[in-house]
Structure 1
Amino acid sequence: MDHKKIAQELLVALGGQENVAAAAHCATRLRLVLNDESIVDKATLDSMDVVKGTFSTGGQFQVILGSGTVNEVYKHFAELSGQTEMSTSDVKDAASKKLNPLQRFVKMLSDIFVPIIPAIVAGGLLMGINNILTAPDLFIEGKSLVDANPEMADLAALINTFANAAFVFLPILIGFSATKRFGGNPFLGATLGMLMVHPDLLNGYNYAAAVLDDSVPVWNIFGYEIEKVGYQGSVLPVLVASYILANIETFLRKKVPSALDNLLTPLFSIFITGLLTFTFVGPLTRSAGDLLTSGIVWMYDTTGAVGGLIFGLAYAPIVITGMHHSFIAVETQLLADLAKTGGSFIFVIAAMSNIAQGAATLAVLKTTKDAKVKGTASAAGISALLGITEPAMFGVNLKLRYPFIGAIIGSGVGSAFVTFFKVKATALGAAGLPGIISIRPDTIVSYIIGMAIAFAVAFVVTIILAKRDAKKAMKQSASEQAAA
């Protein structure tokens, strides 16, 4: 494979060196910021054997080349386009300038929550393991594994402690990540998070009970009472507080003399933000967060299968816009408050969508005669079933259109089923076949059936639509021949 020639052909199809504003690559894709995407020769790109698919999202034009190949092609592409020594972060920064305010807000949430997902996933999966050990009737009628094997009780307790850590101290993780994103010192953000979960405070999970008992502890500052309540498992309060912290710190850095900067700026930043958090920001955003969570749970419980159907139909189109990144904050709150919410239904809907996308792609593999499409569909379909849908969605389904229609129909039907049976996840993870371990134990069977339904419906509908399109093409060809 002549990687330099491929890079040259790509550059020409993309509009030349003057059209490339930034370029980097990830494991499988060239990630580009183009000055004018309208002049891209997509037909040429699609005709290239090495190109598995193209799509545009979040201000970036991405070309799927596959692992191994993308690294070699990028070396020559970067040299030819003059975009050397650029990281994916540089490309993201360049792309963000092309986004509208709503897209920037979604990107901001993504930038904050994506780095902490591994910690949440680890905690959630450990929680799933603990549920498997302690859930009655899962393996033994009338008993849990711990009931049947008492010697495993401490192991389950240890796993539960490990699982809860990321959620109990969630404000520390968010404080660090959010303050960094807002341009402040991330360690001050972590310190702010520590203030919000300090053991001297009333545990946030016990706040509702303390209000009912009229036993909420307070600080009495010159006659003004401030509630001594923690924010364990909270999302919105620490997000707003981190934004305030970063802006106060930035302001003080400009005003405080450099000789006193390291002494006074951290002191006043933490003190002022902490005071604002416990007097105003925290109580207000706690109430707003509770209302948001309650509203989401109410909508899920009230709309039932119909709501699940609509969400399932809409999920893949939402992914195309990139808006799905905003769900991370909502899911984090749902998982952090499991006692109230029972888990995240968003993860389950995402899994149905991913399975359906994979099924539609595999249906294309079965029906198409195009060797290039077959090559892309075989790997992309399996990848989607495992939770990675970009190659399937952008490389096959959207390009051919009818598989995408089949996929969203399958997703809608599967989502309606799992919503009807109240399937929820207790952890984030790979939304697909591996997601079984993330599902609440008493709903695992329904989750598996839902995946089977989503797969079957998407597969069958895609094949039906493929045959319909083939018949239309044959009729059109016959008409053209008759006219000739």
Structure 2
Amino acid sequence: MDRQAVEQIIEAVGGKENIAAATHCVTRLRFALKDEGKVDKEKLENSDLVKGSFSANGQYQVVIGQGLVDKVYAEMVAITGIGEASKEEIKDAAAQNLNPLQRAIKTLADIFIPILPAIVTAGLLMGINNILTGKDIFFEGKALIDVYTGWADFASIINLIANTAFVFLPGLIGWSAVNKFGGSPLLGIVLGLMLVHPDLLNAWGYGAAQQEGEIPAWNLFGLTIEKVGYQGQVLPVLLASYVLAKMEIFLRKRIPDAFQLLTVAPIALLVTGFLSFIVIGPITFAIGNLITNGVVGIFDAVPAIGGLIYGGLYAPLVITGMHHTFLAVDLQLIGSIGGTFLWPMVALSNIAQGSAAFAMMFAEKNNEKLKGLSMTSGISAWLGITEPAMFGVNLRYRYPFIAAIIGSAIAGIVITLRGVMAPSIGVGGLPAFLSIFTEFWGVFFIGMGIAIVVPFVLTFIMAKTRKKKEA
């Protein structure tokens, strides 16, 4: 590890005196700085180790790259003497600089990011199931399992494994949310699983049961409470988790230690459970349906405008961190209508950012550092990780970022007009087609082609035009 290069990074962020806390993720150094005004961005990005930098959610983040970032961080700790901070500690330190809206967005991100690996894994497994069960992929009018029937049960098991994360989604969210709000994660799991208990009417069958007038109910001292589960729902378990965590904290402060084991968890779960089925669940279920109907209504009424706006604005939302809020909307759509039409546009946005970065590799042949960075970050973006391309190349030169937005917006319009949907969230990038319903593969491949060609061509043309003007 080049110690001098690491020292240059430290100096560029204002010196060790300006670092309140620091940690790292898969690709980036994450700083909570006392004063971001002291950052010398030009000096920072001139470092051979740095692929880009940006400020988001109260953290100053320096893109280093996968595999190298942990070595840079270890060397930085050795040089500065700062203690290795956990991600939670850095987030807490950075939260001091956030406004209420940013804190709300950060809270959602902190809840959903830990469960994302399970969701993405489910998406990839569903992709395998799509290949096995989708018609017209290998045989006209038939699926692979129709021709080779011995694979049918194999596909069925894969589908069961893949669906588990969505069937028990409230359990995953309950674990993460209660942990975020300061309660016991185990109680969060119990709360989430309680909301999808087999004794409850499955949420996916609620509409049919309502039409037939066969909704089971409890009679609680004259109060009728519907025995409905919340499979695939996001809002009920989020609010219930908040109530559970705050109640647990309240009780722990007031009940002597000797009695906490026998009283805190039972009281907290009992009260939260009753509130969930009587008040929280019905209200948030209705709100969730309103949100779903609103989003679906907009895209049904003006799909081209919806595709243009979301397809084009997703990348700018990443800069602000607001893209994390749409993960909850994706999960709500999957739980309510069986799929999401938003995530496919996210995948195309990632591809577009990678294509723009690749164009810079050909447009700036004489800049060896930029060529190498463009190639590696472009590959990363095409595999679903866009930060190196977005912050290391495209935003630095601006016009590649604009070209990527244009390409992503056009691709978004095309796939939205044709109603492309995904049954789950998968890996955003070239592998994304695996997580798309097979009947939409054809139009999605057209969208991928647009996201590859348009940003590349526009970036290349703009780069050459700028060079002519400068000459």
- What is aligned with 2:245? 246
> Take 1:127 and 1:27, find their aligned partners in 2: how far apart are those partners?
25
Where 1:262 maps in the other structure, the secondary structure is helix
C-alpha deviation, 1:349, in angstroms: 0.9
Q: Give the Cα separation in 1 of the matches to 2:47 and 2:463.
A: 23
**Quick check: 15-24 or 140-149, which moved more?**
140-149
State the partner residue of 1:54: 53
Residue type at the aligned position of 1:401: R
2:193, 2:69 → 1: CA distance?
A: 42
Match of 1:461 in 2: 458
Q: Is the 8 A contact 2:120 2:427 kept in 1?
A: no
Correspondence for 2:41? 42
Kindly tell me: are residues 278 and 383 of structure 1, through their superposed partners in 2, closer, same or farther at Cα, counting changes over 3 Å?
same
Distance 1:194 1:71, change over 3 A: closer
| SS across alignment from 1:31 | strand
SS at match of 1:423: coil
Structure 2 unmatched ranges of 5 or more: none
Give the equivalent residue in structure 2 for 1:352. 348
Letter in 2 for 1:88: K
Contact 1:138–1:442 (Cα < 8 Å) also in 2: no
CA gap of 1:143–1:313, structure 2 versus 1, over 3 A, is: same
CA distance in 2 between counterparts of 1:69 and 1:451 reads 30
Q: How high is the TM-score relative to the length of structure 2?
A: 0.95
Aligned 8 A contact 1:20 1:81 in 2? no
Give the Cα separation in 2 of the matches to 1:437 and 1:262.
47
Alpha-carbon contact 2:130-2:434 (below 8 Å) kept: no
Partner of 2:324: 325
Instruction: Note if 1:409 corresponds to 2:406.
Output: yes
Deviations 1:256-286 (A, max 9, x none): 2222111111111011111011111101111
Partner letter of residue 92 of structure 2?
Answer: D
Q: Counterparts of 1:248-287 in structure 2 under 5 Å?
A: 248-287=247-286
Q: Percent of pairs identical after alignment?
A: 52
CA distance in 2, matches of 1:308, 1:220: 46
Q: Among 432, 445, 463, which residue is 2:429 paired with?
A: 432
Superposition deviation, residue 150 in structure 1: 2.9
Tell me if structure 1 keeps the 8 A contact 2:51–2:391: no
Q: Structure 1's 187 and 422: CA in aligned 2 closer, same or farther, altered over 3 A?
A: same
Residue 380 of structure 1 is matched in structure 2 by: 377
Check whether the contact 1:207–1:216 (CA below 8 A) recurs between aligned residues: yes
Corresponding position of 1:482: none
- 2:341 partner amino acid: F
Matched residue type, 1:96: A
How many angstroms does 1:68 deviate by?
4.7
The answer to whether the 8 Å contact 2:357/2:400 transfers is: yes
Q: Is the 8 A contact 2:63 2:391 kept in 1?
A: no
- Looking at structure 1, the residues matched to 86 and 155 of structure 2 have their Cα atoms a distance apart, in angstroms, of 42
What's 1:480 paired with? none
Would the alpha carbon gap of residues 350 and 19 (structure 1) be closer, same or farther in structure 2, given more than 3 Å must change?
same
Change (3 A) 1:375 1:160: closer
Aligned residues: 470
TM-score normalized by structure 1?
A: 0.93
- Is residue 195 of structure 1 aligned with residue 205 of structure 2? no
Give the aligned residue type for 1:352. Answer: L
Query: CA RMSD for the aligned pairs?
Result: 1.7
The 2-side partners of 1:176 and 1:380 are apart by 34
Distance 1:410-1:83 versus aligned 2 partners, 3 A rule: same
Aligned residue for 1:33, secondary structure, equals strand
> Aligned equivalents of 1:401 and 1:225: distance in 2?
59
- Deviation (angstroms), 1:205: 1.4
Shift of 1:67: 4.1
Cα separation, 1, equivalents of 2:259 and 2:409: 60
Q: Using the alignment, how far apart are the partners of 1:75 and 1:119 within structure 2?
A: 29
What's 1:106 paired with? 105
Map of 1:391 onto structure 2? 388
Partner of 1:87: 86
In structure 1, give the amino acid aligned to 2:362: K
Structure 1 residues 438-453: aligned runs within 5 Å: 438-453=435-450
Distance 1:285 1:265 in 2: 26
Q: Which amino acid aligns with 1:385?
A: W
The 3-state SS of whatever aligns with 1:56 is strand
Question: Aligned letter for 1:373?
Answer: L
Q: Is the 8 A contact 1:128 1:426 kept in 2?
A: no
Distance in 2, matches of 1:457 and 1:371, equals 24
CA distance in structure 1 between the aligned counterparts of 2:135 and 2:4, rounded to whole angstroms: 62
CA contact (8 A) 2:216 2:226 kept: yes
Aligned with residue 361 of structure 1, among 354, 357, 369: 357
Per-residue CA deviations over 1:425-482 (Å, capped at 9, x if unaligned) read 12212111011111110011211111111111101111111122112212xxxxxxxx
